[in-house]
């Protein structure tokens, strides 16, 4: 089998807000000889901006192609579903830039109404979107179902509305169920594995949230590592009804990397 590859969530694994998690720097050096992708549900910003943030926080320079956002996964999914698709989008620059690569911005007759994090939700954009969904041919797509995400403003930690919160008015007004691309749905993981040229049983997912990172990866058979440096602290009981991670550590320096790699090898043989 090929060498195992790594999928790493970003906020809560590599950094918290504008502060690096020191153990993450060491971990990235430890896996430097392995294929890996940094994946995030946040669709509001671009891989280039995220790569610059990592350098600013003291991480080694990372090629933006090693960063996969839910916006990029959404664009790739829609291109596979309907090549040359048209769209009306509500969200930040990361979403608009990703969609522009494959599709055509068409507020009059879109194939899809796509909603993600970031500025853009106004009474006007909501009205336009729901009418394209009700009276047009458009389907409702969400970059991710997160109700909220962590952010910073003037150096202070704040909570921002996530993709799930921002798409909710469109769903409520139309009665439509959105198709979500980001974690815990499979599509972001599938796009990541495709880019790494690995099957699910040849990868390790490192994340800080049981309800998105661990749940989504476990459903595909990916070896999972829960690191309790983000929203899920060491003293919090594991939620009932969610798949347990293969490894549950308080920080990345507690992870036995050799054991994790051996778990992937054993799973790939079964």
What residues are labeled active site? 9, 11
> Which residues lie below 8 Å from residue 195, measured CB to CB, with a gap of 6+?
37, 68
Q: Tell me which DSSP letter residue 10 carries.
A: S
b (16+ CB within 10 A) / e for 196-221: bebebbbbbbbbbbbbbbbbbbbebe
> Which residues lie below 8 Å from residue 142, measured CB to CB, with a gap of 6+?
114, 115, 116, 163, 164, 167, 178, 179, 180, 181, 182
CA distance to 13, 31, 203, 204, 214, per residue, from 3 (Å): 22, 11, 9, 11, 21
Distance of CA 20 to the CA centre of its chain: 19
> Which residues lie below 8 Å from residue 118, measured CB to CB, with a gap of 6+?
43, 44, 45, 91, 92, 93, 94, 95
User: How do strand 15-16 and strand 67-69 relate by DSSP bridges?
Assistant: unpaired
Q: Report yes or no: 158 and 151 within 8 Å, Cβ to Cβ.
A: yes
Q: Which residue has the tokens 């590592």?
A: 225
> Which residues lie below 8 Å from residue 190, measured CB to CB, with a gap of 6+?
220
């Amino acid at each position: 089998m090929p060498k195992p590859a790594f999928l790493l969530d970003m906020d809560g694994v590599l950094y918290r807000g504008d502060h690096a998690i020191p153990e993450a720097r060491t971990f990235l050096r430890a896996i430097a000889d392995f294929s890996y992708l940094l994946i995030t549900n946040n669709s509001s910003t671009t891989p280039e901006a995220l790569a610059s943030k990592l350098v600013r926080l003291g991480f080694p320079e990372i090629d933006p192609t090693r960063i996969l956002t839910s916006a990029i996964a959404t664009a790739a999914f829609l291109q596979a579903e309907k090549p040359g698709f048209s769209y009306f989008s509500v969200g930040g620059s990361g979403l608009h830039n990703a969609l522009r690569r494959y599709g055509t911005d068409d507020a009059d007759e879109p194939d899809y109404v796509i909603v993600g994090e970031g500025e853009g939700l106004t009474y006007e954009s909501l009205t336009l979107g729901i009418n394209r969904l009700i009276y047009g041919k458009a389907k409702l797509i969400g970059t991710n179902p997160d109700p909220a995400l962590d952010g910073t403003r003037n150096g202070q930690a704040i909570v921002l509305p996530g993709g799930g919160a921002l798409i909710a008015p469109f769903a409520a007004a139309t009665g439509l169920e959105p198709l979500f691309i980001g974690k815990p749905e499979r599509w972001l993981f599938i796009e990541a594995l495709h880019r790494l040229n690995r099957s699910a049983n040849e990868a390790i997912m490192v994340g800080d949230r049981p309800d998105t990172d661990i749940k989504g990866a476990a459903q595909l058979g990916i070896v999972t590592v829960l690191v309790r440096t983000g929203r899920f602290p060491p003293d919090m009981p594991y939620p009932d009804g969610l798949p347990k991670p293969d490894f549950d550590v308080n920080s990345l320096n507690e992870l036995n990397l050799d054991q994790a790699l051996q778990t992937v090898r054993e799973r790939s043989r079964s």
